[in-house]
Amino acid sequence: QVFQLLTDLKQQRKESGKSKQSSGQQNLNTIMYETLKYISKTPCRYQSPETVRDFLVAMKGHKLTK
């Protein structure tokens, strides 16, 4: 979910084309970039909401605790 959200935000910013940014906005951009860079190297990059839902349904019968 985080990967999808950040990817969508990145695309929206690219489409809006705003060039002037405040210091806080630049910090947020850095955090978004670093987070996307990290997540892109993990298996969660390839997960979709459907995959996670299927996994949870499959595990329901095992009565796992949180």
Rounded to an integer, what distance in angstroms lies between the CA atom of residue 8 and that of residue 3? 9
d(CA 5, CA 55): 21
Q: What is the mean pLDDT of residues 9-27?
A: 75
Say what the pLDDT of residue 21 is: 66
Note the pLDDT of residue 54: 93
Q: What is the mean pLDDT of the chain?
A: 83
Q: 50: which 2 tokens? A: 């459907």
Average pLDDT over residues 26-53: 87
